[in-house]
Amino acid sequence: MEVRERIDLLERADIVNSLLARYGVKFGIYKNNTFHEQLFPFDPIPRVIGKEEFAYLEKGLKQRVQALNLFLKDIYNEKKILKDKIVPEEFIYASSGYLAQCEGIVPSKGVFSHISGIDLVLGKDGVWYILEDNLRVPSGASYPMIARELCRRSSPKTFQSVSVADNRSYAELLKKTLDYVNTGGLTVVLTPGRYNAAYFEHSYLAEKMKVPLVSSHDLITENDKLYFVDYSGKKEQVGAVYRRISDEYLDPMNFNHESVIGVPHIFDIYRKGNVAIVNAPGNGVADDKGIYYFVPKMIRYYLGEEPILHNAPTYLPYYEEDMTYVLENFDKLVLKDVAEAGGYGVVFGNSMSSKQKEDFLVLLKREPRRFIAQEVIDFCDLPIQEKGEQFERKADLRAFVLSSDEPVVWKSGLTRFSRNPDSFIVNSSQGGGFKDTWVLNQ
Amino acid sequence: MGVKSVEHIDRLYWLGRYSERVYTTIKLYGKRFDSMIEEDAEGYEEFCQSLEIPNIYTSVEDFREKYPFGRDDPNSIYSNLMRAYDNAIELREEIGSETLAYVQMAVYELNKAAISDAPMIEFQNILDDTLAFWGIVDDQIEDEETRNIIKLGKRVERIDLYGRLRVDRASMRREVHRINGRIDRSGLRYNKQALARINELIEEEDLNYPEIVREIEKILEV
């Protein structure tokens, strides 16, 4: 990139951030039981991925998502992977993401994880490592979409001189994914409402796909079909629901009975194949942090291939051998509670006081299935700009894989960075910012 | 888009009403503020009476502070703008991000005015954002029904406020003629008797303002 164009992009970062504020590009967060809307700070220096490097990632991500989809189909049906003892049963049935209600169900067109958000980091050794798979309701694609739109306005010459794959077709890709599994009728985005952390994304994607954004009270179930009821009382059948509500709250008749944001009996209609729910309920069993350990084994088992992308070296204290390793190397490991998400439940062995460590070890020995331990990946810093100066900060990448007739990797992604120089935690809920992700065309 | 829920219809209508309420009350507040600079220190009491809002203010200074910016005052300009925003933010896919942005900007401008040494001058930005919002509703919302429901809310609110503030007959007649041309295009069912009665009332020499207010408040009761 020419110097002048690079300067344009950086100098106009404040304008881009003020436009992001103008369009209400925010996320919600609860602090002390009070809801706050916060702007998601945007850094103008993109993460740049070369064409060849992306081709490698693309191949690895497709492979991983294909295996995860096969795993989900298998777990809720034949369970061959359990019978063949590749994955221990207790990792399935003890997982909070496993839903017995999904047993025997094959969703429309056999797709379970339609939108997969795969978190990766680039190690200082030049190797990309998968940190986690998000197969329930992964969010974040809307942020680079709108940031790209605004950066193109603020620095058109940059995009004239650098050939970057256009990421603004995400909504079309998503609509195509939803249409593929639609069982006949409207496609809608189902939101729990504006006090959800990702409400901006729900409404923005509905706008860009030109589909209705609905709440549970707009939908009714009748004669084994799902309907949207309009203001005049007219009913229109719904064939695909892009739900941004977690499994637990999706249907009070089948899951959490206290849910007031779900649609009663929607799951029964889904079970009968009369509506597609995207992503499929029960996917949590495959993105559990404990199951992560087994994904390379799944790839070998279902596809007969060697995994292209690497997991971070992971230990399961559930296995005696791994427990011994964890106890001996505690200070150099990061420990994760498999039930937590969003950067919570993550502790670094070397940051604990001796009392904390003592308490933690008691817990670990009592509930070994609850934790995984990983080597701390020394991942690459990326430059960020703050008050005109540049600093290096930890950053990850959430890649999006959309599965319809075949998996497609979106040629972009959400790059999140830590704003704290000493932190590896990049989540927006913990004060992180985001960058656009450029995939070069050549 | 074609399909709209009851909730969206309600939100479109109230987006129209609250955005109009913000616009008109800022203008009224501006006039009252000006008259209270040198004299008419108690003028806010009459202001409250005309809008039929409780006079919770203890002094001119208290009124100057709380009426525009009071977060706990349900009748403040701030509260009305936040109600417009609360409706708009739930309508992004219906009205579009570009349209929503003007309501969002008005919120930022009001927050800036609240900490300014000269809030009155800052209010111009909120009026500009509101006018731009009306403009973009016309220009960019393709769905005619959506457009007309927002504008119906605006017209209803204006007649309501004009009735309470006893504006001149010509202005009232103009607004009633506008609603006559708008209401059928909204696609909403409405109280035809109430509209007919309002049309009779504006032909009278001395306008019966309280009755006009009562009738316009019943316009969507069917």
User: What pLDDT score was predicted for residue A5?
Assistant: 58
Measured CA to CA, the distance from residue A418 to residue A415 in angstroms comes to 10
CA distances from B105 to A352, B84, B101, B102 (A): 45, 12, 6, 5
User: What pLDDT score was predicted for residue A421?
Assistant: 79
Measured CA to CA, the distance from residue A120 to residue B106 in angstroms comes to 39
Beta-carbon contacts of A76 under 8 Å, excluding residues fewer than 6 positions away, are A102, A103, A104, A105, A106, A282
Interface test mutation site (partner B, options A25, A214, A231, max chain B beta carbons within 10 A): A231
Residues A256 and A331 grouped into a single domain: no
Closest partner residue to B97 among A194, A204, A217, by Cβ?
A204
Closest partner residue to B104 among A24, A207, A213, by Cβ?
A24
In percent, the amount of chain A with pLDDT more than 90 equals 81
B143 in reach of chain A (CB within 8 A): no
For A312-351, write each residue's pLDDT tens digit. 999 999 999 999 999 999 999 999 998 776 667 888 999 8
Residues A120 and A181 grouped into a single domain: yes
Q: Is the pLDDT of residue A380 over 80?
A: yes
Could you say which of A358, A375, A392 is where a domain stops? A375
Domain that holds residue A166: 3-306+379-439
Q: For all residues of chain A together, what is the average pLDDT?
A: 93
Closest partner residue to A24 among B3, B9, B89, by Cβ?
B89
Residues A294 and A361 grouped into a single domain: no
For A289-308, write each residue's pLDDT tens digit. 899 999 999 999 999 999 99
Encode A210-236 in three state secondary structure: CCCEECHHHEEEECCEEEEECCCCCEE
Could you say which of A375, A390, A407 is where a domain stops? A375
Residues A160 and A145 grouped into a single domain: yes
Residues A317 and A427 grouped into a single domain: no
For A4-62, write each residue's pLDDT tens digit. 556 688 889 999 999 999 999 988 888 878 888 888 999 999 999 999 999 999 999 99
Residues A297 and A256 grouped into a single domain: yes
Closest partner residue to B93 among A21, A207, A217, by Cβ?
A207
User: What pLDDT score was predicted for residue B30?
Assistant: 87
The residue type at A430? Q
A interface with B, Cβ–Cβ < 8 A, is 21-24, 186, 189, 194, 199, 203-204, 206-207, 210-215, 217-218, 228-231, 236
Closest partner residue to A194 among B4, B89, B108, by Cβ?
B89
User: What pLDDT score was predicted for residue A32?
Assistant: 79
Task: Show me where the domains of chain B are located.
Answer: 1-141, 142-222
Measured CA to CA, the distance from residue A124 to residue A194 in angstroms comes to 40
Residues A261 and A362 grouped into a single domain: no
User: What pLDDT score was predicted for residue A118?
Assistant: 98
Phi, psi angle pair for A235, to nearest 5°: -105, 135
ipTM over 0.90: no
Measured CA to CA, the distance from residue A312 to residue A320 in angstroms comes to 20
Of A232 and A181, the one with more pLDDT: A181
The arithmetic mean of pLDDT across residues A351-372, rounded, is 92
User: What pLDDT score was predicted for residue A28?
Assistant: 83
Residues A348 and A211 grouped into a single domain: no
pLDDT band at A72 (very low <50, low <70, confident <90, very high): very high
**Chain B residue numbers touching A21 (CB-CB < 8 A):** 104, 108
Beta-carbon contacts of A48 under 8 Å, excluding residues fewer than 6 positions away, are A438, A440
Contact B104/A231, CB-based, under 8 Å?
A: no
User: What pLDDT score was predicted for residue B50?
Assistant: 84
For A128-164, write each residue's pLDDT tens digit. 999 999 999 999 999 999 999 999 999 998 998 899 9
User: What pLDDT score was predicted for residue A429?
Assistant: 65
For A396-411, write each residue's pLDDT tens digit. 999 999 999 999 999 9
The arithmetic mean of pLDDT across residues A278-290, rounded, is 95
User: Which secondary-structure segment (H or E) carries A321?
Assistant: helix A320-328
Residues A240 and A197 grouped into a single domain: yes
Tally the C-alpha atoms within 13 A of residue B147's C-alpha that lie toward its C-beta. 13
8-state DSSP, A186: E
User: What pLDDT score was predicted for residue A377?
Assistant: 87
Rama region for A6: left / alpha / beta (φ>0; ψ in -120 to 50; rest): alpha
Give the range among A111-120, A240-249, B109-118 with minimum mean pLDDT.
Answer: B109-118
Residues A7 and A24 grouped into a single domain: yes
CA distances from A3 to A10, A149, A157, A312, B140 (A): 11, 22, 11, 37, 38
Q: How many domains does chain A have?
A: 2
Residues A321 and A230 grouped into a single domain: no
User: What pLDDT score was predicted for residue B222?
Assistant: 84
Give the range among A386-395, A421-430, B121-130 with minimum mean pLDDT.
Answer: A421-430
The arithmetic mean of pLDDT across residues A69-91, rounded, is 96
Crossing angle of helices B97-114 and B77-89, rounded to 10° = 160
For A220-229, write each residue's pLDDT tens digit. 999 999 999 9
Q: Give the chain B residue nearest A189 (alpha carbons).
A: B93
User: What pLDDT score was predicted for residue A1?
Assistant: 56
Cβ contacts from A onto B, under 8 A: 66
User: What pLDDT score was predicted for residue A266?
Assistant: 98
Note down pLDDT in tens along chain B; length 222 residues.
Answer: 468 899 999 999 999 999 999 999 999 888 888 877 777 667 788 888 888 899 999 888 888 889 999 999 999 999 999 999 999 999 999 999 999 999 999 999 999 999 998 888 999 999 999 999 999 999 999 999 999 999 999 999 999 999 998 899 999 999 999 999 889 999 999 999 999 999 999 999 899 999 999 999 999 998
In percent, the amount of chain A with pLDDT more than 70 equals 97
Q: Give the chain B residue nearest A228 (alpha carbons).
A: B5
Contact A203/B1, CB-based, under 8 Å?
A: no
Residues A67 and A162 grouped into a single domain: yes
User: What pLDDT score was predicted for residue B32?
Assistant: 80
B153 close to B11: Cβ distance less than 8 angstroms? no
Contact B105/A22, CB-based, under 8 Å?
A: yes
Beta-carbon contacts of A422 under 8 Å, excluding residues fewer than 6 positions away, are none
Q: How far apart, in Å, do the first and last CA atoms of chain A sit?
A: 13
Interface test mutation site (partner A, options B6, B8, B86, B93, max chain A beta carbons within 10 A): B93
User: What pLDDT score was predicted for residue A397?
Assistant: 97
pLDDT band at A2 (very low <50, low <70, confident <90, very high): low
User: What pLDDT score was predicted for residue B144?
Assistant: 93
